[in-house]
């Protein structure tokens, strides 16, 4: 418990959210069976920048803090990748490079759609092909793979569910956060810290 005493977020509530989402993932994985191609080293989903909220960012920072205590060399290499990623991304970043927050202006959001689509997540260890902060990964990463419903319908990883019928895909649907606990926690954290908005992994760990 001493190692997590300095967490930057409401740790108990976030831990509850992580448990709920991970439980939903386990259930969806069980139902999906061989339709899911996800496995260690399969990291296509780690390519391309994506927006994360303040709760995700705080969780990642806490993960890096613990990694620094447990494996300083590994943490140092991760921070080197973060610095290199920031150097590449900052010139075209559609937001405020000082705060790392993405702009909410429509034009900036359009730019983000084509921003850094080939950028590898700095948390990905190129030697192992696995995530150095897997336990602390953002919610987007936690729900990637199984069918998850959005405004566009049920979305799945393009490597998964090959040959499955729409009915078979629907039977494996993952409902990650049925009570929308994440939204409440994000609001609570933003009110506590005064920082609000979305960012990307590299800026969260800068």
Residues 75-112: tens digit of each pLDDT: 999 999 999 999 999 999 999 999 999 999 999 999 99
Residue 34 falls within a domain, yes or no?
yes
Phi, psi for residue 131 in degrees, rounded to 5: -85, 125
- Residue 13: the pLDDT is 87
Q: Which two tokens stand for residue 174?
A: 């993952």
Q: State how far the Cα of 20 lies from the Cα of 184, in Å rounded to an integer.
A: 14
Residue 1 falls within a domain, yes or no?
no
**CB half-sphere exposure, 45, CA atoms < 13 A:** 23
Strand residue runs (E) in the chain: 95-96, 101-102, 124-125, 130-131, 148-150, 153-155
Q: Which two tokens stand for residue 177?
A: 């956060």
Residue 115 falls within a domain, yes or no?
yes
pLDDT of 71 over the 70 cut = yes
Question: If we measure between CA atoms, which residue out of 121, 144, 157 comes closest to residue 48?
Answer: 121
pLDDT band at 8 (very low <50, low <70, confident <90, very high): low
Residue 41 falls within a domain, yes or no?
yes
- Residue 11: the pLDDT is 57
Residue 29 falls within a domain, yes or no?
yes
Q: State how far the Cα of 49 lies from the Cα of 108, in Å rounded to an integer.
A: 14
Residue 2 falls within a domain, yes or no?
no
- Residue 1: the pLDDT is 32
Q: For residues 201 and 121, is the Cβ–Cβ distance under 8 A?
A: yes
Q: For residues 193 and 54, is the Cβ–Cβ distance under 8 A?
A: yes
3-state secondary structure of 102: strand
Q: For residues 31 and 172, is the Cβ–Cβ distance under 8 A?
A: yes
Q: Give the number of other CB atoms < 10 A from CB of residue 80.
A: 11
* Residue whose structure tokens are 């080293």: 41
Number of structural domains in the chain: 1
Q: State how far the Cα of 137 lies from the Cα of 38, in Å rounded to an integer.
A: 16
pLDDT band at 40 (very low <50, low <70, confident <90, very high): confident
- Residue 5: the pLDDT is 36
Q: Give the number of other CB atoms < 10 A from CB of residue 166.
A: 11
Question: For residue 7, what are the contacts with CB-CB under 8 A and spacing of at least 6?
Answer: 58, 62
3-state secondary structure of 95: strand
What is the span of the domain harbouring residue 145?
Answer: 8-204
Residue 42 falls within a domain, yes or no?
yes
Helices 54-70 and 181-193 cross at an angle (nearest 10°) of 80
Q: Name the percent of the chain lying above pLDDT 70.
A: 94
Residue 117 falls within a domain, yes or no?
yes
| Average per-residue pLDDT for the chain | 92
pLDDT band at 3 (very low <50, low <70, confident <90, very high): very low
């Amino acid at each position: 418990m001493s190692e997590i005493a300095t967490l930057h977020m409401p740790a108990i509530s976030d831990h509850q959210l992580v448990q709920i989402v991970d439980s939903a993932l386990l259930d969806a994985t069980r139902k999906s069976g061989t339709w899911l191609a996800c496995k260690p080293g399969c990291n296509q989903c780690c390519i391309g920048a994506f927006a994360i909220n303040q709760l995700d960012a705080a969780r990642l920072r806490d993960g890096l803090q613990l990694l620094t205590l447990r494996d300083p060399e590994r943490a140092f290499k991760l921070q080197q990748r973060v610095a290199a990623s920031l150097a590449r991304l900052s010139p075209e970043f559609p937001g405020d490079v000082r705060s790392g927050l993405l702009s909410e202006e429509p034009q900036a959001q359009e730019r983000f759609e084509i921003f850094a689509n080939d950028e590898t997540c700095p948390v990905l260890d190129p030697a192992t092909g696995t995530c150095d902060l897997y336990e602390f990964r953002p919610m987007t990463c936690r729900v990637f793979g199984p069918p998850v419903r959005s405004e566009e319908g049920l979305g799945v990883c393009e490597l998964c569910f090959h040959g499955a019928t729409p009915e078979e895909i629907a039977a494996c649907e993952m409902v990650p956060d049925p009570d929308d606990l994440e939204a409440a926690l994000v609001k609570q954290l933003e009110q506590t810290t005064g920082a609000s908005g979305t960012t990307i992994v590299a800026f969260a760990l800068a």
